[in-house]
Structure 1
Amino acid sequence: MPRILKVAAAQVGAVDRDADRAETLARLIALLDQAASEKVQLLLYPEVTFTTFFPRHLFTSSSDLNAYFEHNDDLTTSPSTAPLFSKAQNYGIDIVVGFAERTDEGKGYNTCVYYSAAVGKVINKYRKVHLPGTVEPFEDPEAVNQLEKRYFTPGDLGFPAFRAPGLLPTSSGDPVLGMLICNDRRWPEAWRSYALQGAELLLIGYNTVAHSPHLWGTTKPMTEEEAEKEALFHSRLVQQSNSYMNSVFSISSARCGLDDGKYNLIGGSAIINPEGHVVAEAKTKDDELVVAEIDLEECRQGREKTFDFGRHRRIEAYGRIGAQTGVVEPELL
């Protein structure tokens, strides 16, 4: 029996450091309005949805830094965020929203939440596990910094799959979903953790700079155009390959465009099927809704054949994966 969902990625274009939050919120709601007009059931927003991607900046004032953080409990009540959730509730659309979370203990996390319109509340939360970048900024004043290790703590919630109610007829069973954030999409362990829980759809918001050789390194000098092409290739590669290897649909949603006239972020928001094929993809580097109708039954092909974990996985051979972090080479002869 088909299990059809209408899903979308809400790609968001440039948001400058001094952007007015009310104006940014209006843009997010405009994408939600469009999603409602196209009868979307589930909408994914990017990483750190409500502001610019602030970890590229060094903040010396705690008050300036804290202006970019939200308290998880305030998301559905704060004037700067609540209207998005209220509108989603009115439309009956589930949304995934990324934000910088500040806990009561003062810890910072790069977080996203799943808001279910069927029950009118947040039903799941994920905190980014794989934090890229550095604690201190690069010495080169022209370098693009990535200071997530300075402002955030690695996620402590693991990779909890969950069911989302109300999206499918009761007879079809509620879909099993999972969430990742940006750099997490590059790590196959994260995808496999969800697949082992039967996840059928992974939701991934991201901010990825087009050219940052200080951060990522490079085998050869690249122009800005070459570097952006390479970054887009890698973003598609990890989404397509991991969707295939785990027999799962995936949606990715980008913050993109030219922030502050200086920081060039890739687009490439995409919806990928369990065979690794692109179902829909962004055509711009601006605010754009990427929509597709997907059938979750397509996950069964891989899971019952090539990637039937129960029949084919050999966990007795994988001990090193769970016991070792850095590389340990064989001894020299």
Structure 2
Amino acid sequence: MSGQRRLRIAITQWQVNGDLSANVEVARELIDRAAADRPDLVLLPENGLFLGTNATMRENALSEDAPQIDALREAAARNNVTVILGGMKNRTPDGVFNSALVIDPRGAIAGRYDKVHLFDARIGGVSFEASTVERGGTEPVLVEINGVQVGLTICYDVRFPELYRALALAGAEVILVPSAFTRITGDAHWHTLLRARAIENGCFVVASATVGEGAFPTYGHALAVAPWGEVIADLGEEDRAVRVLELDLAAVAEARGRLPVLAGTKPQVYASAVRRVAVNTTEEATL
């Protein structure tokens, strides 16, 4: 049917280790596998090229002109597909960032998103101090792919709904969440958070993921959620997997028409100071 807007997107998942070269080859393999099903976009997970301790993650940060990035650019160009490297430790003149690189079908780096929210938390007795490794980004990013507005986020960002609302209000119809979610937090929160971000913004939410043992166990379950909240793909605990999905963008307009939450937002109210009211609950309180 003419007039239909669709985006074919490949979600990926693999078990990452401390061997940078081996991880790059897995990424290239999955790009090639996805390309056979003719996607518009292949999404690679956060930390898909290297997962280690804070010290080794910083030591193995790559610049955008590194040979490993060139290898992914070559794979994108050879397959004529957009590739988003969902999160790499990116060594720049301004410091190290956790960057999602957008590689276009010619193999050029078309843009990047620097992860805004850094994972400084203590989970299962392990301290994750991302701020000792990287700097935080300062702005949301939208990329247009085949006429579809796609918002970029990374992993821990998913816990900050205001970022997703900002992207949706700016026009995002699909929001990406490439991740290396810990197994503990993934088991507790992963599906709920991704479904919530999709439902509250009436958009597709799509997440590639790392899985298995490594410097720390990661949850897997690369996921895609439709605008009404249905999970439409879940890669479970597969240790090297890719799946191509066709997203019908009419579902975004339908969900937003049924529940016009974006039209109902009131940023001027949210920005106001919170008015506090005290209730007297002592026994001496009288009518």
TM over 0.5: yes
Output one character per residue of 1:211-241: Cα deviation in whole Å (capped at 9) or x when no partner.
3xxxxxxxxxxxxxxxxxx633511111111
Match of 1:199 in 2: 172
**Structure 1 vs Structure 2: percent identity of aligned residues?**
22
Match of 2:253 in 1: 300
Q: Which amino acid aligns with 1:4?
A: R
Match of 2:61 in 1: 69
Q: Please list every run of at least 4 consecutive aligned residues from structure 1 whose deviation after the TM superposition is greater than 4 angstroms.
A: 328-333
Match of 2:284 in 1: none
Match of 1:265 in 2: 218
Output one character per residue of 1:267-317: Cα deviation in whole Å (capped at 9) or x when no partner.
11011111111111103241111321111121101223312533x223332
Match of 2:154 in 1: 181
* Runs (5+) with no aligned partner, structure 1: 168-173, 212-229
Output one character per residue of 1:28-81: Cα deviation in whole Å (capped at 9) or x when no partner.
1111111011222211111122111x3xx253xxxx565311223x1xxx3222
Match of 2:47 in 1: 48
Is residue 2:135 matched to residue 1:153? yes
Q: Which amino acid aligns with 2:37?
A: E
Match of 2:102 in 1: 114
Match of 1:79 in 2: 67
Mark the CA change 1:268 to 1:65 in structure 2 (over 3 Å): closer, same or farther.
closer
| Alpha-carbon shift at residue 121 of structure 1 (Å) | 1.9
Q: Which amino acid aligns with 2:253?
A: R
CA distance in 2, matches of 1:150, 1:33: 35
Q: Which amino acid aligns with 1:301?
A: E
2:71 match: secondary structure: helix
Is residue 2:241 matched to residue 1:241? no
Output one character per residue of 1:97-117: Cα deviation in whole Å (capped at 9) or x when no partner.
021112213x22111111121
Mark the CA change 1:209 to 1:196 in structure 2 (over 3 Å): closer, same or farther.
same
Determine if contact 2:58/2:133 at 8 Å carries over to the other structure: no
TM-score (norm 1): 0.76
CA distance in 2, matches of 1:58, 1:175: 36
Mark the CA change 1:332 to 1:194 in structure 2 (over 3 Å): closer, same or farther.
same
Mark the CA change 1:10 to 1:100 in structure 2 (over 3 Å): closer, same or farther.
same
CA distance in 1, matches of 2:267, 2:54: 43
Determine if contact 2:11/2:242 at 8 Å carries over to the other structure: yes
CA distance in 2, matches of 1:67, 1:268: 28
Determine if contact 1:163/1:176 at 8 Å carries over to the other structure: yes
Q: Which amino acid aligns with 2:182?
A: V
1:104 to 78, 93, 98: 93
Q: Which amino acid aligns with 1:161?
A: L
1:162 to 97, 120, 143: 143
In angstroms, what is the RMSD of aligned CA positions? 2.4
CA distance in 1, matches of 2:279, 2:131: 35
More strand by share: 2
Higher mean displacement: 4-13 or 179-188: 4-13
Mark the CA change 1:124 to 1:303 in structure 2 (over 3 Å): closer, same or farther.
farther
Match of 1:208 in 2: 181
Mark the CA change 1:16 to 1:200 in structure 2 (over 3 Å): closer, same or farther.
same
Q: Which amino acid aligns with 2:207?
A: S
| Alpha-carbon shift at residue 94 of structure 1 (Å) | 0.8
Q: Which amino acid aligns with 1:95?
A: V
1:10 to 2, 9, 12: 12
2:156 match: secondary structure: helix
Q: How does 1:26-37 map to 2 (within 5 A)?
A: 26-37=25-36
| Alpha-carbon shift at residue 254 of structure 1 (Å) | 0.8
Determine if contact 1:245/1:307 at 8 Å carries over to the other structure: no
Mark the CA change 1:58 to 1:291 in structure 2 (over 3 Å): closer, same or farther.
closer
Mark the CA change 1:151 to 1:275 in structure 2 (over 3 Å): closer, same or farther.
same
Match of 1:252 in 2: 207
2:120 match: secondary structure: coil
Q: Which amino acid aligns with 2:13?
A: Q
1:39 match: secondary structure: coil
1:202 match: secondary structure: strand
Match of 2:233 in 1: 280
Match of 2:283 in 1: none
Q: Which amino acid aligns with 1:67?
A: E
CA distance in 2, matches of 1:58, 1:176: 34
CA distance in 2, matches of 1:114, 1:2: 25
Mark the CA change 1:329 to 1:291 in structure 2 (over 3 Å): closer, same or farther.
farther
